[in-house]
Amino acid sequence: MRRVAYKVSFFFVVCLAGVPVARADQAGSIAPDAGAEQVGAEKAGTVSAPTPAPVAAAKPIAVEPRGKATRLPVYIADWGRLAELTQSDRLVFPQADFWADRQEHVRWILGGGLFVGVGVAIAGTISRVATDHWTDTAERSVAAGVSVAALTLIAAWWLSPDHDDLLTVINQWNFRHPDRPLAP
């Protein structure tokens, strides 16, 4: 609905504004003594825009090379690898190591929580199949299992390191070590 309203309003602004538009092939074809014709055109409301002055081509900017040729960046895909590469820096390494440990803990929380949640839900479902009807215990087991699995997913999402955290550590490394760049 918004897209339709936007297109309609754009149509009215462009078409009903009454702004004259000069075509590129007509802009340069005005005769030198067309002053009288231009005055008459102004009264009619169809004045064409004057031809803009030609723009000089921009000169390329000369970039001076740094002292040494820089190496290509090392691409980082895992927090553990980033912690290994930053061991030589005592400011960046603790942050990279913290996030690597956090990622490992999140994996354990995710695996354990999903295992417990799915296991309890399956136990409740097996109890229902064995008795041919839903008991309070079976219903509560399934609900608890699904709840534990859902809370585990939310906790893992909340605790896991973001891409911004990775970029922060990499940018700190690159600022301190421009000769050995890293890239995400």
For residues 122 and 124, what is the distance between their CA atoms, to the nearest angstrom? 5
- pLDDT, residue 19, reads 46
Look at the block and give the residue holding tokens 């605790």: 159
Q: Report the pLDDT averaged over residues 45-57.
A: 66
- Local confidence band at 63 (pLDDT 50, 70, 90 cut-offs): low
Residues forming a β-bridge with 74: 182
Burial (CB < 10 A; 0-12, 13-18, 19+), residue 127, is middle
Between CA 169 and CA 98 the distance in angstroms is 11
Here the tokens at position 135 are 């008991």
In angstroms, the first-to-last Cα distance of the chain is 39
Q: Which amino acid is at 121?
A: A
pLDDT tens figures, 118-170? 999 999 998 888 888 888 888 899 999 999 999 999 999 999 988 888 888 88
| Inter-residue contact 124 to 159 (CB < 8 Å) | no
pTM of this prediction exceeds 0.85: no
pLDDT of residue 3: 43
Domain ranges of the chain: 108-176
Query: Per mean pLDDT, which range of 46-55, 83-92, 111-120 is the poorest?
Result: 46-55
Q: pLDDT at position 137, please? A: 85
Structure tokens at 145: 């299992």
Place of tokens 């803990």: 105
Residue type for 8, please?
A: V
Under the banding of pLDDT at 50, 70 and 90, the label for residue 105 is very high
Enter the tokens of residue 74: 């090392």
> Which of 52, 45, 48 lies closest to 31, judged by CA?
48
Per-residue confidence (pLDDT) for residue 107, from 0 to 100:
93
